[in-house]
Amino acid sequence: MRAKTLLYEQFALVGKALAHPARLELLDLLAQSEYAVEPLAAAAGLPLSTASAHLKTLRTAQLVTSRREGTRIVYSLAGEDVAGLFAHLREVAEARVDGVTPARRAYLRLVPDDAREDDPVWDEVGHDDLLDRVRRGRAVVLDVRPAIEYRAGHIPGAVHIPADELAARLDELPDTEIVAYCRGEYCVLSYDAVRLLTRRGRRAVRLAAGMLEWRLAGRPVETTAA
């Protein structure tokens, strides 16, 4: 019995590491790119000391790794299996936990079902449809994530304009349909981008899901030198 308990205690290390919303958000960010601890804490809206403590817990469970670059400590996911675990956790939670759907709708500012026609973010395209539209020259792909995440990996050929710069840089986009994407299906950036583009008279839809799901599906990914 003791040997079995020790085994399950090892499994529980992963469960304990996942059992905090801030640590899940850190994993969400690290699933996009490696980050130095200071900008990672800023992106998650956490004090540096708090972020460091959470990262220590994730590192103890071997979900993240770290390395030193000069005076900086840089964190990364320990592997693609960790990204898959994070994605699957969200899927199970949405399927099983009643509170996920209303929380998701509130965060993404989704209108009630009977008002869907008034909100352009309900229009989305799948991965295969996106590739077909791009091959036919019918759409341009727009990545609205921060620059560090775009450089780490993006859909090949995607135009990069961070969400907070989009309003001032609309003229850089060609006069064709725009397919916007961000981190994943729970990322608000692409929703906000489509709403802004539509208000400005542009044809825009969202990519179903985002970069996390694109990569986990084995789709091609392009990187850019810093």
| Catalytic residue ranges | 182
Instruction: For residue 148, give both structure tokens.
Output: 């560090």
Identity of residue 214? W
CA–CA distance, 38 with 224 (Å, rounded to integer): 22
Q: What DSSP designation does 43 have?
A: H
89 has which bridge partners? none
CA–CA distance, 189 with 147 (Å, rounded to integer): 13
Q: Which residues contact 113 (CB under 8 A, 6 or more apart)?
A: none
CA–CA distance, 49 with 114 (Å, rounded to integer): 45
**∠210-132-173 over CA atoms, to 5°?**
65
CA–CA distance, 75 with 55 (Å, rounded to integer): 8
- State the virtual CA torsion across 134, 138, 143, 144 in degrees, nearest 10: -170
Helix pair angle (2-18, 48-60), 10° resolution: 150
3 state SS of 176: coil
CA–CA distance, 174 with 172 (Å, rounded to integer): 7
